[in-house]
Amino acid sequence: MVGRLRRIPKPLCVLLVIAAVEAAAWATALPPLQGPDEIAHLQYTQEIVETPGIPWRSRSGGEPVRYSTEIATAVRWGQLSTLAANPPAHPAWTAVDEDLWRRHDQGLGHRDRADGGWVSALRNPPLYYVYEAVPYLVTYPASIFTREYVMRLANIPLLLVVVASTWLLLGHLFRRSRWLQTVGTAVVTLNPQLTHLAAIVNPDIALAAIWSLALLICVRTAEGGITRGRVAGLAALSAASALTQPRGVPLFLAALLAIGLAWLRARRSAGAPPVLGPVAAWSAAAASVAAAGVIYVWYATRGELSAGPVRQFASYLWQFYLPKLGFLAPNPQSGWTVRDVYIDRFYGTFAQLEVTFPAWLDHLLALGSAAGVVAVVVALVVHRGAVARRRAALAVMAAAALIYILALHAAAWRNILIAPGDPILTGRYLVPLIALFGVCVAMVVSALPRRVAGFAGAAIVSIALVVQFAAIGAVLERFYA
Amino acid sequence: MRKWVLVAYLGGLVAVIAVAAAWALKDRDFPASTAQPPPLFTAPTIPIKPGQAACSNDITVESHSRQMRFQVGTMGKPGPELELTLRWPGAVQRRTQAGGYADNAVLGAEFDPPSEPRLATVCFSNRGRVPAYLFAADGTRPVGREVFGGDVSRSTTTVDGRRIAANVVLSFYEAKPTSILARTSATASRIAVFRPVGTWFVWLLGALFVIGIPAGLAWALLRAAGDDDRV
C-alpha cells in the first residue's frame, strides 16, 4: 500500500493537496447554506436519514416548500435567509448570534428533523444524498451547522477523483508527459467553479467526478480495447450518473460509443471481415445519430415532434451560439447567451449567484477563452497526423461533450416552454466536462515548441491561480467586508 | 525549460501579489453587523406618527459597531426629528437625529460600541410633527418566487408596543473606512462562528491557501518540467 502511494507522481500529489486545501478553505469561508439550492440538498439528505425510505419524487403535488423545523430554526435564528442572494446582508458572525440560535435549537428532537416537506431537490435521484447521509450520520448528534459543514468536506474525495481522473486522462493522451499532465490538471484544479461546487452540498460535484472518471475509461476503452473491468466500470458509472442527476443520464451513450469503437477496432486488427459494407456502416451510423437526435428533440419539445416545435427548438439552439438569421423566430432567452454560460458562470458566479467577478475580469476571461478555442483548432491542424492516429479518443471525447451539452440544451428548452423566465442552462452544469477543459489546455501547450511550451504552460497556470484568488477574494469581500 | 517555467510563473505570481495587495489594503466602508438588510422583492415602510416609537430587538452590536444606519421616507416633506435609543443589558445610549433631512435619506448615528458582542434593542421615536416612514422588510415575495432568500430577519419589531410583521432595515458600520487586511483577525473569528472549528483552523487554512498553494504549484511545475527535461 505504502509502495503504491509512493509511486503516485509527486506533481499529482501536490495538485491533490492543493485541491483539498482549496475545497476546505471555500467550505469554511462560505457561510452555511449559501450554495445554490444548498438548503434543499441538505434537506434531502436529512429526509433520507430521519424518515423511512428515499423521498425521491418528480412533483410536489402542489404543496409549498417546507423545511424541517431544525433547518427552519437554523435559517431564522442564524439569519441565513436574510443573507441569501442579498449583497448588503452579512452573516450573523458573533458568539451572541450563535448562542441565540442555540437557545432555540437545543430543545429540538428527532421529530423536528423529520418534519420537512417538499423541496425542489427531491426531483433528483438519490445517489449523492445517500453518499452525504454518511457524514450526516457520522457527525450525529452534532448541530445542524456541524453536520452541514462536514457534509461539505465530504465532497473533497469527489473533487480528488476529478483531479486524478484528469491527470490520468492527460497521461493517456499525451504519453505521460509530466509537463502537459501537470499544466492541464492544474488549470482544472484551480477552476474556481469546480472548487465552489466541491465546497457546498450539491450533487454537481458528484456528477463531475463520475463523468471525469467515465471519460478516462471511455478513452482507454476506445483506444485500448474492451476488457471486462472497463465495461463493468462504464456500466457502473453510467448507472451512477443517472442515479445522481437527471443531467447525467446521457453518459451511457458515450460509453456505448466507446465500446462500439473498441469492438470495431478489435475486429479490424483481428483481420475479421467487416460486419457491414462501407455504405451500410455509414448508413447505420447516420441512423443511430438520427435516432438519438429524435429522442433529444422529443424530450426538448415535450413530445411535440411536429414541424413548428422542432423549428422553434432548432431556432433557439442556433441563436444560442450564432447571430439570429432573418427568417428565425425570436429567441425567448435572447438575453442569455453563450458568454453567460461558458464564461461568466463557468469560471465565476458563486454562492446564491450574487457573487460575481468584476466585469473586466469576465471580459478578459472571455477573450482568453476565445483565443483558447482558436488555439485548440490550430493545435488540431498542426498535429493532424497525431490527431488522425488518435481519432478514436478524440471522437469519444467530442461525442461525450456533444451528447452532454445537447442534453443540457434539450432540458433548457423544455424548461423554457414551461417557465420562460428561467434560463436553466448555467455554467456550473458544464463542470462534468471539466477534464476536457484540461485536455484542451494541454493540447494547445503541446503544439508549441519546447521552450515556449514551458513558458506558456506556466503562464496559463499562473493566470488560473489569479482567477482562483480573485474568486475567493470575491467571496470574502461579499460576506465579510 | 525549467528556466522559462520559473520566469513565467514568477511573473504571474507578481501579478497575483500586486492585485491581492491592492485589494487587501484598500480602505472601504466596513460592516460590523447587519440586523436587517434591504428586502429583495418589495420596499415596505413602517410609518411612525408624531409621538410614536418603533423598537426592534435581537440586534447584534459588537466592538466595531460605531455607526447605526437606517433609511427614512418623509413623503417629500422635511424629515421630523428622531430620538434613537440603543439598549442592551446594563447600558442605554440616546442620540438625536435632527429634523429637516431629505426624503428617503440614509441616516447614520454614532454610538459607543460594547467591548463584547451584545444583543441590543433599537428604538426610533418620532419627536417631530410629520410622520416618518422607516424603510423595512417584511419577507413578502411575488407569487412564484419561492427562492431561498429575502426573508425578514429574526428581530421582533413593535410600534408603540404593538407587534408588526416588518423589521426596520438596519445595519452597523465601523466609524471610518478600513481595509480587509486590518480586519483579517476579526474576519477569521467571524468565519469560525457557527463552525465546529476554531479560529486557529481558519488561520491555518488561510495560510495554506495564500502561501501553500502558490508554493506548491511552483514546486509541481518545476518538478514536472524537470521530469520532462530528463526524458
User: How many angstroms separate the CA atoms of A284 and A304, rounded?
Assistant: 25
Task: Please calculate the CA angle A10-A12-A17 and round it to the nearest 5 degrees.
Answer: 95
Torsion sign over Cα A123, A124, A130, A134: negative
Set of cell numbers at residue A469: 484568488
Task: Give me the number of domains chain A comprises.
Answer: 2
Pairs across A and B, CB distance < 8 A = 241
Q: Are A481 and B30 in contact (CB under 8 A)?
A: yes
Q: Same structural domain for residues A106 and A221?
A: no
For B90, the 3-state DSSP assignment is coil
Last residue of a domain, one of A153, A186, A212: A153
DSSP secondary structure letter of residue B149: -
pLDDT, residue A77, reads 96
E strand segments, B79-169: 82-88, 91-97, 105-110, 118-126, 132-137, 157-159, 162-164, 167-168
Could you tell me if residue A226 is inside a domain? Answer: yes
Please check whether residue A344 lies inside any domain of the structure.
yes
Q: Is residue B207 less than 8 Å (CB to CB) from chain A?
A: no
pLDDT by residue (tens digit) across A412-447? 999 888 877 776 789 999 999 999 999 999 999 999
Complex prediction ipTM: 0.95
Q: Which of A153, A176, A192 is the last residue of a domain?
A: A153
Chain A residues whose CB is inside 8 A of the B208 CB are: 21, 25
The residue range of the domain holding A71 is 31-153
- For the four alpha carbons of A39, A45, A50 and A55, in that order, the dihedral sign comes to positive
Looking at the structure, tell me whether residues A278 and A402 fall in a common domain: yes
Q: Among partner residues B28, B31, B148, which is closest to A39 by beta-carbon distance?
A: B148
A237 C-beta neighbours (distance < 10 Å), count: 25
Verify that A248 and A100 share a domain, yes or no. no
Residue A19 lies inside a defined structural domain of this protein: no
Residues A70 and A100 both lie in one domain: yes
Tell me, yes or no, whether A469 lies in a domain. yes
Please give the single-letter amino acid code of residue B197.
V
User: Side chain identity at A151, as an amino acid letter?
Assistant: M
Residue B144 pLDDT greater than 70, yes or no: no
Residue of B25, B65, B193 for testing the chain A interface, max A β-carbons within 10 Å: B193
Residue A344 and residue A263 share a domain: yes
Note the pLDDT of residue B231.
61
Average pLDDT, chain A: 93
For B67, the enclosing helix (H) or strand (E) is strand B67-73
SS3 (DSSP) at B214: helix
Q: Is A42 near chain B, with CB under 8 Å?
A: no
**Structural domain includes residue A3:** no
The alpha carbon of residue A25 is apart from the nearest alpha carbon of chain B, in Å, by: 6
Q: Does A22 touch chain B (CB under 8 A)?
A: yes
State whether A162 and A244 are in the same domain.
Answer: yes
Residue in B69, B217, B222, B227 to test binding to A, most A beta-carbons within 10 Å: B217
Same domain, A240 and A328: yes
pLDDT tens-digit profile of A90-141?
A: 999 999 999 999 999 999 999 999 999 999 999 999 999 999 999 999 998 8
Distance in angstroms (rounded) separating the CA atoms of residues A87 and A93 = 16
Contact status of B22 with chain A (Cβ, < 8 Å): no
Distance to chain B for A421, nearest Cα, Å: 11
Reference B43, options B139, B111, B124, B129; nearest CA is: B139
Asked if residue A386 and residue A459 are part of one domain, the reply reads: yes
* Last-in-domain residue among A130, A153, A176: A153
Nine-digit cell string for A302: 415535450
CA distance B3 to A450: 12
Cβ contacts (< 8 Å) between B27 and chain A: which residues? none
Based on the fold, state whether residues A292 and A313 are members of the same structural domain. Answer: yes
Residue A370 inside a domain? The answer is: yes
The model's pLDDT over B187-225, given as tens digits with 9 standing for 90+, comes to: 999 999 999 999 999 999 999 999 999 999 999 999 999
What are the phi and psi torsion angles at A205 (to 5°)? Answer: -70, -35
Same domain, A98 and A176: no
The answer to whether residues A294 and A326 belong to one domain is yes
Q: Best residue in A178, A185, A189 to probe B by mutation, most B CBs within 10 Å?
A: A178
Residue A270 lies in a domain: yes
Cell of B91: 447600558
Same domain, A431 and A303: yes
Location of C-alpha cell 431561498: B148
Q: Which helix (H) or strand (E) holds B203?
A: helix B199-207
Q: Per-residue confidence of chain A (481 residues) as pLDDT tens digits?
A: 777 778 899 999 999 999 999 999 999 999 999 999 999 999 999 999 999 889 998 777 778 889 999 999 999 999 999 999 999 999 999 999 999 999 999 999 999 999 999 999 999 999 999 999 999 999 988 999 999 999 999 999 999 999 999 999 999 999 879 999 999 999 999 999 999 999 999 999 999 999 999 999 999 999 999 999 999 999 999 999 999 999 999 999 999 999 999 998 888 888 877 777 778 878 888 888 888 889 999 999 988 888 888 999 999 999 999 988 888 888 877 788 899 999 999 999 999 999 999 999 999 999 999 999 999 999 999 889 989 999 999 999 999 999 999 999 999 999 888 877 776 789 999 999 999 999 999 999 999 998 899 999 999 999 999 999 999 999 999 999 9
Question: Is A306 a member of any domain?
Answer: yes
